[in-house]
Structure 1
Amino acid sequence: MRLSEVVQILARRLDVRPGRVSAIASRLQHAGLLPITEGSRRYPPEVEVGHAATLLLAVIGDRGLGCVPDTASAVGDYRSQDGGRLADALLAVLRGQAQPGDLIVKQDGASATFNGHHLVFGNPAEDGPARFVTGPTLAAIVAELSGAPPDHADAVAAITIIRNH
């Protein structure tokens, strides 16, 4: 999948301006965390699911363009009690290896429900700003990254809502 497609999916699903997601992606490219267009090719580079996970973490953890690579790494490195990294858990969800659930990212940590289990990564602040990605939203992102058109991904999100209630 092209990076520009991933940018559009995340912007639409997370309700973030496409220009913001694109700027975050650009910072990750220049830091070597996302592929960059090489040579005379004029189209956006292909990205893997791992790259999409890095971009998703950077968008969710957004603390300003000046620290995008550090933010993506810090958020991805939040660890659960058993030592699992948030980046690895999110990657398993995006690959379809784990059931998507709600994700809340706060300063210094995150809470998530993946595979129906509540997980705490890092030491999330008790109050203050937080970014949320609901289970249905994450399920729709997974569907679109897997090639589903937006209306089919909307159906996946609706089914996820029904299944969880």
Structure 2
Amino acid sequence: MTMALVRPALKYALERNGHGAALGFTLDKLERGATHLTFPYREDLVGNPITGVVHGGTIVSLLDTACGCAAMTIQRKPSVTPTMDLRLDYMRPAQPYKPIYVEAKVYRQSSNVIFCRGVAWQDDKENPIAHCVANFMKVDSKSIQFRSIALKKLRHLMPWRQASVNDSEQK
């Protein structure tokens, strides 16, 4: 898979759909086997309203997403890489009102599993909020119908087109 094709597709998929859209992060860097995300502080994702600290589940989602994305970039064909195992160590709470940066890298792969490491930090990467080790399953792309997924998303983006197609089918 060429990164020229993968980069825009993954950026769109991660920032505009699912967790990425809900969390509002941006995919800053994408290379073969590595990703970098930025998550802007959001008050609606605070876990402790007294301290203003971001919920730990947000940190887990960021690290899992970054590692999964890094895992996807090493596949030869477009495919998903479901999380098999994720171990996360929280080192300290995130500071309120500051962005969180996440970096993930693939460090090994076998015939069926991709192994990744990730780290989340704010001001200093050497003083992380959390770090993780994660394993992802390689899924045969033949079992995934990317064309139908892309068409469904495209139709969702063009609701006026879908309405005219439905009207034509009813006549």
Give the structure-1-normalised TM-score: 0.32
Give the structure-2-normalised TM-score: 0.31
The structure having more radius of gyration, on CA atoms, is 2
Q: Which has the higher helix share?
A: 1
Q: Which has the higher contact order (CA 8 A, sep 6+)?
A: 2
